[in-house]
Amino acid sequence: MQNYYEQHVFNEVPNVAVQLSLVGSLGLAFLRLMGPVAQWLAPKISQQGVLVLGCAMKALGMICAGFSREIYQLYICQGIIFGSGASFMYYTSQQIVVSGWFDGRKGIALGLIASGSGLGGLIIPFIMSPINNRLGPDWTFRILGFVCLAMDGMACLMIKEFPDQERQSEKKNQKLREIIRLSVFKSGNYWLWMIASCITLLGYFNPFYFLPSYGRYYAGMTDNQGSLLVAIISIFNFVGRASTGVLADYLGQLNTIILFNFISSLACFLLWGYAFTFGSMIAFSAVFGMTCGCYFSVLSPVTSIILGKALFPTGLSFLLITNILGVFGPNFASSLESDLVSQSNYQPYFSYKMWSGACYLASCVVLLILRFRMAKQWNKII
């Protein structure tokens, strides 16, 4: 969609690529920023009410984006309104599952929830392209809005609050300090978990952003082949997030993310580091896609393990806010690349590979410190 807007709608606007890229950045930012607002709203309108509000905002944001004629209108509709609605639904669904349901197989449940975004990232582009080619961007956004309304509406009907949470929701006169508990920041383990999560996400996005252009540079790949690499990452991301939940129930949540992040690091250093053909890039896409999204499956249960159920809602809110830093990982890597590319004998794109690998490896170090602060035995399931 951004490419279409650049070429056909806002083609005379200066710096249009930069301005349009902020639409997605705003959406990701509000997806993570609005957790505390959802937490504040839940006792007042119930968690079910927050879900319904999020559903309505997502649909409204997409539909209104279809009437946008200026870039700032896309900021408001697709960035702020849609991003806030997505935050309300994501945060609340995570809280409901972790705080009450699925005590026995919580990892599987959360793995399936996390895998949905990987599946959506695979399917939605193939739906949007033919609609956009036939009906144009306005109706593409409107149709996506109605799809959001239908799918999220079904989710609102299926998700039920845990009975204990319903009683908590009756306390509508709670003060803000009783809802958002800043005592979470007294936990050293929580600080380590936030640091590890941010470092992980700093390395997560690079292959999604740069692998297609990397393939064009080294293997002369077409745009379709580049899109295929991202699709392969998304397919294996879907499978990996779901399987992460299954494995975490047996190995432990922290043990699983340490293992998967280490494999992701090796994939960046060894597979992507020496991938100069289409086949080798497919191999990297499969391995990295399988392991790179583990964090999204375990972020809620690990937060709950560290803080307990009472502090979990606040801990999850602030964890998601700090995760905004990960959105800028490709920008940091690009800045490093621009400084190095002018040097003689420098291999283009090398810094992108090393950045992602180093971030995943550094996160493993922090996670190992956290793991042995919580339990010193090697065979402890945690």
**Predicted pLDDT at 133:** 82
Give the whole-angstrom CA distance, residue 368 versus residue 382.
12
Burial 173-200 (b: 16+ CB within 10 A, else e): eeeeeebbbeebeebebbebbbbbbbbb
**Predicted pLDDT at 101:** 67
How many degrees, rounded to 5, is the angle at CA 134 between CA 69 and CA 231? 95
For residue 247, what are the CA distances in angstroms to 10, 371, 374? 47, 17, 20
DSSP letter at 79?
Answer: I
**Predicted pLDDT at 57:** 97
**Predicted pLDDT at 175:** 64
CATH architecture of 184-374: Up-down Bundle (1.20)
Q: Which is the CATH superfamily of the domain at 1-161?
A: MFS general substrate transporter like domains (1.20.1250.20)
Biggest CA–CA distance in the chain, Å, is 66
Per-residue pLDDT tens digits of the chain, which is 382 residues long: 655 676 667 777 776 766 777 888 788 889 988 988 998 888 888 888 999 999 999 999 999 999 988 888 999 999 999 999 999 998 888 777 666 666 666 667 777 777 777 677 677 777 777 888 888 888 999 999 999 999 999 988 888 776 665 455 455 666 666 667 889 999 999 999 999 999 999 999 999 889 988 999 999 988 778 888 988 998 899 888 888 878 888 888 899 999 999 999 999 999 999 999 999 999 999 999 999 999 988 888 899 899 988 898 899 889 989 999 988 888 889 889 888 888 878 898 999 999 999 999 999 999 999 999 998 776 677 7
**Predicted pLDDT at 164:** 61
DSSP letter at 102?
Answer: -
- In the numeric block, the tokens 């239908």 are attached to 150
Give the whole-angstrom CA distance, residue 82 versus residue 46.
21
Helix locations, the chain, DSSP H? 2-4, 16-33, 35-65, 71-74, 82-99, 106-135, 137-158, 163-169, 176-179, 188-204, 206-219, 223-251, 253-266, 278-291, 294-307, 312-322, 329-340, 350-374
In the structure encoding, which two tokens stand for residue 78, read together?
């697709």
Give the whole-angstrom CA distance, residue 355 versus residue 108.
31
What ranges do the domains of the chain cover?
1-161, 184-374
Which of 326, 317, 316, 270 lies closest to 293 in space, CA to CA?
326
pTM over 0.85: no
- In the numeric block, the tokens 């699709």 are attached to 231
Which of 172, 232, 174, 202 lies closest to 323 in space, CA to CA?
202
3-state secondary structure of 377: coil
Equal fold, 1-161 vs 184-374: yes
